[in-house]
Structure 1
Amino acid sequence: MEASRSCLVTISILIGLFVLISIALNSIILIIITRGSNQLKNINNTEELKLINQISLNLSLIESIDINELMKHLQEFNHIATMENGSRSINTKGFKRTIDYIADYLSTNTNYYIKRTPFSVRQFKLGNNPILFTSIANTIINRTYSNDLSKGEFSHVEYSTDINLKDFINITLIPNFGCSEKDWLTAKPSPNGRIALVKHGACDFFLKPILASHYHVKGLLLYNISRSSNCNDSLPTSLGPFNTLPTLSISSNLAQELIESLNNSATNTGVRFIIDVLKTEPYSVENICADTPIGDITQTIIIGSHSDSILNGPGINDNGSGSAANLALAVALFRTSMYRNLKYRIRFCWWGAEELGLIGSFVYVTQATTSIIIGERFHDHLLYLNLDMLASPNYMFGIYDLDTIINGTLTKNIFASKKITTLFRNWFNDQNLPWDNVNLTTAISDYLPFLIGNMPVGGVFSGADGIKTKEQCDRYASYLGPDPYCMPNIAFDQCYHKSCDTIWNINKFAYEKLTKAIAYALEYFIHMDNLKEWLYSVEENQNLTSHYKK
């Protein structure tokens, strides 16, 4: 028994040792297999990463534009507006969160140099409601003031200057729309020292006071006459803080009354008004610019878009669409192979306070004009591309048409800008896409300060409150096929400057195409050996021809 037990114990020990050794060996084998598997996984991940990077590097800038990425940014802007009382206007949390999002996204996804530049904007506030008296055939009437012209006869315009006229001042009716020097020169009698009655339309609202100031006008009355019942809706509500003239908007009925009186030479027609504007403390707004660390800083291509909305709307098309496109372009460029060998510095900018009168872009141009820092001087810039409203629901493929700029008034540098216009036209032709010219006297945006400073400019635009015609719908259908959503005789964007300009106010097809058009132009410029020479070469200009495809 003892021998048997001893033998059994010995066998048990041997079995135990065998089990332990087996477990140990299995553990070692498992570790080896696991390590090998992890090594293979790491190898696969590395190869996959290389492949992804290679695919990204091989893409052109235009191929890198993804509508899903564009919409992701718009959804974020829409969320910001929703959380901040429906607005991304300057001096609101919505604006601050918008520019923080842009700056943070750039910091996370690029190695660009990011600069946030604050500037001050003065607030506009009335001390009292304005007063307007009219004198027609010696009959004096105290007109009714209201913020809503459908309920009153006149209204204030933000950033009007103050005035207290003690006597009645005669009125001069400005012919046409007051958008050209000729309109003011041919006005009878001369508007010098008088109140100018000016019709709204044909050019942006803040251009009219600029021209009026050349003729020493005492003040402005802006009006709109239309068969539409809401013709007063399109009258400007703000002239921007650079305005220097006292200004009121008047109803179409009052305008017709004054015009009829002015057309009767036997009737003496004048007005007297009081506008009490308080002096208020300014508030701070920011521009953001992001520079590629590669490229000649004395040869800068700048792409800009405004980052603010109106006070009473989220501004997802105007101009979340431009801001998001600018952001997507910036990141897409960083991911492409051409980024490693940039000849020119690329600067992406987001302007503040555009909705108050292009203030952010004017501040930038003013600072660049006076700068002595190499790379920041105005002549260190080659050209400017503008992104504003790229996704209107009832869209057009609009291209900035430099032939519509008032000759001799705004710029001496139309020539090079027309080449950029032609470049866009040729791209749309090559893509077999329709396009329309954009009249720059009616589509004022942040390109204007650069154009005034004699920098070549260009851009694309999907339309705002202008009306899409049946001819456009038919012509677009001949290229793209029937579009049941094309609405003739309706605005390109019925939610322009309204609270309904939300994420649902976006045409994805138009948005992607217009963003790709900008990407094409930028890539075209990047590959130029001598961009400045191309811009100003007469021979090159003669070789660039384009026209509507029939």
Structure 2
Amino acid sequence: MIVSEPYRKRMFITLCVIGLVGIATLALAAATLGTLIKRFDSIVSTPITSKPKLNSTLAETIRIEDLMTHLRQLQRIADESNGTRAINTRGFNETVNYIEKYLNEQGTLLKVTRETFKIRNFAIATDPILLSLINGTEKNYTYSSKLARSDFTYAIYSTEANFSDYVPLINIPNFGCAKNEWQNTQGFAALVKAGGPCTYAEKGILAGKNDVKALLFYNDGETNANLAPISVRLRETNKLPALYLSYAAGQALANATLSTLVMVKLSIQLQNLEDFPVDNICADTTDGDVTQTIVVGSHSDSVPAGPGINDNGKDIVLVFK
């Protein structure tokens, strides 16, 4: 093959250009790598600083023994009140007295006020009843105060109910948190799954606005802790009978509504009780800038089933400090 002289020159120039570009690329890569190595070395060589130390003066004011002294007193109060400090018990009232006394003993550092308000008392008179009728088969669900053994329980602030006839059951889509999920529910008992971006009380309000006959909540079954029925609280102004079902019972009813008519009947009888007082204790510092206020608080009651030393006794005594 014969190559002309001009062509040889063009080829030589092209090869030179390619060579120069390659050399420049290698140089740039080497420079970049060198920079990265330097940065990596600087990161590795930088000593790791320790976490800032706590304010020693503040830390010294909190002593475990002081906290335990208060917790022992709360335990004593619970022991003298059938093992509980729940609201509407002697244990709760004595807890509030103890808190008020301790805060007042801090001298002029705090201005302590006690506020009393009343809340609706609630208790069932007899065990509630829940029946279902599916394809001619009637089922009587198990109620027990031991929720792990129960198919259902009642919702706090449920109204009374004594259905003489069965009413149709409708399964509310999603979680019953949106208005459009309650369309065409008038006259039905509504089956509502746990969860969603709203509270049970808010679901109850939506149900009431749509003239639902009754509310049947049920657990979501997402974990073993979400299988049994649980105790939930509706608004004190709730106007609907409401029960809470286990995941197994609720999901079985939900599945049945997909293919057939499901009917339910329920009975809830309540005790006729007067409202009872509940106290709050507030303590304001007597100095400082009122426009720069920090609020620290905790609830002072326990659940009915225990003394509440962890929930929420520990936080009561931490607020003391």
Q: With structure 1 as the length reference, what TM-score do the two structures score?
A: 0.43
Equivalent position of 1:251 in the other structure: 246
> 5 Å matches for 1:24-423?
63=59, 66-68=62-64, 69-111=66-108, 112-178=110-176, 180-181=177-178, 184-186=179-181, 190-201=184-195, 204-226=199-221, 231-233=226-228, 235-236=230-231, 238-239=233-234, 241-264=236-259, 267-294=260-287, 301-328=294-321
Contact 1:147/1:156, CA 8 A, preserved across alignment: no
The residue type equivalent to 1:159 in the other structure is Y
Paired with 1:230 and 1:253, the residues of 2 have a C-alpha distance of: 13
The residue type equivalent to 2:135 in the other structure is A
How far does residue 92 in structure 1 lie from its aligned partner after superposition?
2.0
Q: Deviations over 1:43-100 (max 9, x none)?
A: xxxxxxxxxxxxxxxx799556525244443333233223433211112222122111
User: Comparing both structures, which one devotes a greater share of its residues to helix?
Assistant: 1
How far does residue 226 in structure 1 lie from its aligned partner after superposition?
2.4
The residue type equivalent to 1:247 in the other structure is A
Structure 1 gaps of 5+ residues are 1-58, 329-550
Paired with 2:206 and 2:291, the residues of 1 have a C-alpha distance of: 34
Q: Alpha carbons of 1:234 and 1:303: their partners in 2 closer, same or farther (altered >3 Å)?
A: farther
Paired with 1:291 and 1:310, the residues of 2 have a C-alpha distance of: 28
Paired with 2:283 and 2:225, the residues of 1 have a C-alpha distance of: 42
Q: Alpha carbons of 1:281 and 1:211: their partners in 2 closer, same or farther (altered >3 Å)?
A: same
Q: Alpha carbons of 1:98 and 1:127: their partners in 2 closer, same or farther (altered >3 Å)?
A: closer
Paired with 1:169 and 1:325, the residues of 2 have a C-alpha distance of: 51
Contact 2:229/2:246, CA 8 A, preserved across alignment: no
Q: Alpha carbons of 1:317 and 1:140: their partners in 2 closer, same or farther (altered >3 Å)?
A: same
Contact 1:149/1:232, CA 8 A, preserved across alignment: no
Paired with 2:262 and 2:120, the residues of 1 have a C-alpha distance of: 35
Paired with 1:170 and 1:67, the residues of 2 have a C-alpha distance of: 61
Q: Alpha carbons of 1:234 and 1:143: their partners in 2 closer, same or farther (altered >3 Å)?
A: closer
Q: Alpha carbons of 1:298 and 1:242: their partners in 2 closer, same or farther (altered >3 Å)?
A: farther
How far does residue 274 in structure 1 lie from its aligned partner after superposition?
2.1
Q: Alpha carbons of 1:117 and 1:195: their partners in 2 closer, same or farther (altered >3 Å)?
A: same
Contact 1:133/1:273, CA 8 A, preserved across alignment: yes
Paired with 1:219 and 1:62, the residues of 2 have a C-alpha distance of: 54
Contact 1:194/1:219, CA 8 A, preserved across alignment: yes
Paired with 2:195 and 2:75, the residues of 1 have a C-alpha distance of: 30
Paired with 1:74 and 1:145, the residues of 2 have a C-alpha distance of: 36
Paired with 2:201 and 2:314, the residues of 1 have a C-alpha distance of: 24
Contact 1:149/1:250, CA 8 A, preserved across alignment: no
| Structure with the larger RCO, 1 or 2 (CA within 8 Å, 6+ apart) | 2
Paired with 1:201 and 1:253, the residues of 2 have a C-alpha distance of: 16
Equivalent position of 1:435 in the other structure: none
How far does residue 298 in structure 1 lie from its aligned partner after superposition?
7.8
Q: Deviations over 1:370-415 (max 9, x none)?
A: xxxxxxxxxxxxxxxxxxxxxxxxxxxxxxxxxxxxxxxxxxxxxx
Paired with 1:313 and 1:283, the residues of 2 have a C-alpha distance of: 21
How far does residue 158 in structure 1 lie from its aligned partner after superposition?
2.9
Q: Which moved more, 1:212-221 or 1:269-278?
A: 212-221
CA RMSD of aligned residues (A): 3.1
Paired with 1:298 and 1:246, the residues of 2 have a C-alpha distance of: 46
Q: Alpha carbons of 1:170 and 1:113: their partners in 2 closer, same or farther (altered >3 Å)?
A: same
SS at match of 2:190: strand
Contact 2:147/2:229, CA 8 A, preserved across alignment: no
The residue type equivalent to 1:293 in the other structure is T
SS at match of 1:323: helix
How far does residue 319 in structure 1 lie from its aligned partner after superposition?
1.2
Q: Alpha carbons of 1:64 and 1:204: their partners in 2 closer, same or farther (altered >3 Å)?
A: farther
Contact 1:138/1:268, CA 8 A, preserved across alignment: no
How far does residue 324 in structure 1 lie from its aligned partner after superposition?
1.7
Contact 1:205/1:236, CA 8 A, preserved across alignment: no
Contact 2:153/2:230, CA 8 A, preserved across alignment: no
Q: How many residues align?
A: 264
Structure 2 gaps of 5+ residues are 1-54
How far does residue 102 in structure 1 lie from its aligned partner after superposition?
1.1
**Matched residues, percent identical?**
38
SS at match of 2:296: strand
Q: With structure 2 as the length reference, what TM-score do the two structures score?
A: 0.70
The residue type equivalent to 2:276 in the other structure is Y
The residue type equivalent to 1:171 in the other structure is L
SS at match of 2:253: helix
The residue type equivalent to 1:101 in the other structure is Y
Contact 2:216/2:244, CA 8 A, preserved across alignment: yes
Contact 2:158/2:242, CA 8 A, preserved across alignment: yes
Q: Say which one has the larger Rg.
A: 2
Q: Alpha carbons of 1:284 and 1:199: their partners in 2 closer, same or farther (altered >3 Å)?
A: same
How far does residue 307 in structure 1 lie from its aligned partner after superposition?
0.5
Paired with 1:172 and 1:62, the residues of 2 have a C-alpha distance of: 58
